Amino acid sequence: MSFKTVLAMIGNTDPTADLARAIEIAIELEAHLSVVVTSLAIPATMGDFPASTVWLDQRDEDLKLLDGIRKQAESACKTNGLSFDVDVLYAEGVFVSEEIHRRALYADVLVIGEGVRSDRVLTRRIVDGGVFEARRPLLLAPKNRKTTLKPRRILLAWNSRTEAAQAAREALEMMTWAEAVHVVLVDPDNSYWVSGGEPGADVATYLARHGINVVVEQLASGDRLVEDVLERHALEIGADLIVMGAYGHSRLRERVFGGVTASILEESKFPVLIAR
């Protein structure tokens, strides 16, 4: 798919770096940049009625900080000649997820940097609303590595599951631009009912029909974490981007992420496109 609207979430941790990555991506794509400056509001305790002055003072400080970041974002977007809009989202967790969901419906890709990802709870709310509910792809843009949505070499993390297939479809147009797509399976299941007898062959055939240059690689984890194997191999092959599915389920009104998904969200220093 083409990316014409980029939705970037900017938090109150290292907003300058996160904003710079989002602007770079919007310029590369010649896309509209929609910036949401966001933070989780501190809920009033059950006994705070009427609300305590401490809670109100903290809320005022948070909003002033976010408003300053909003002004910074507006100035940077104007300087770079972008089509843009900037807004502030300050709410408790479930309302942040709902608002991100609403906004993501009208975006082609979501972007978050390491600043936002340093807040584990906020990140999960963004992923819940944007990826799992709105079904939009999410780009993780690290601070110290170039991030592009026009990659020359892509690593597609594959395991023959629906989530991986959806990620591949979201990145299909991008993969047709690339010089090569490495379909990587870590400790693949060789059973016929899972992998069709030869792990990776079916998806390689599907991608090849779209004119994509495909390389299938089966890797043994050797007791290493899957996410570590993927990132190390991405570096070895000179990949610009990892594409992977997002795994998780709802439990008691809270999203529980799969182990690899959670680890990538929290720790990855490599550009990753996650889709559901």
pLDDT (0 to 100) of residue 163:
94
Q: What is the pLDDT of residues 25-39, one digit of tens each?
A: 999 999 999 999 999
Nearest to 157 by CA among 210, 200, 221: 200
Q: Are residues 94 and 26 in the same domain?
A: yes
226 within domain boundaries: yes
pLDDT (0 to 100) of residue 135:
96
Q: What is the DSSP secondary-structure string of 104-148?
A: HTT-SEEEEEHHHHTSHHHHHHHHIIIIIIS---EEEE-TTS---
Q: How many CB atoms lie within 10 A of CB 33?
A: 25
The identity of residue 95, as a single letter, is: F
146 within domain boundaries: no
Q: Are residues 128 and 213 in the same domain?
A: no
Q: Are residues 14 and 130 in the same domain?
A: yes
Q: Are residues 238 and 205 in the same domain?
A: yes
pLDDT (0 to 100) of residue 252:
41
pLDDT (0 to 100) of residue 253:
47
Domain boundary among 141, 164, 183: 141
Domain boundary among 141, 173, 192: 141
Is 201 strand, coil or helix?
A: helix
Please state the domain count of the chain: 2
Is 185 strand, coil or helix?
A: strand
Go through 53-70 and write b for each residue having 16 or more CB atoms within 10 A of its CB, e for each that does not: eebeeeeeebeeebeebb
pTM, two decimal places: 0.93
Q: Are residues 122 and 208 in the same domain?
A: no
pLDDT one digit per residue (tens) for the chain, 276 residues: 689 999 999 999 999 999 999 999 999 999 999 999 999 998 876 555 556 788 788 899 999 999 999 999 999 999 999 999 999 999 998 999 999 999 999 999 999 999 999 999 999 999 999 999 999 999 999 999 999 999 999 999 999 999 999 999 999 999 999 999 999 999 998 865 555 678 999 999 999 999 999 999 999 999 899 999 999 999 999 999 999 999 876 654 456 677 899 999 999 999 999 999
Q: Are residues 52 and 132 in the same domain?
A: yes
- Strand 153-157 with 241-245, pairing: parallel
Query: Range of 12's domain?
Result: 5-141
Domain boundary among 141, 161, 183: 141
Q: Are residues 158 and 110 in the same domain?
A: no
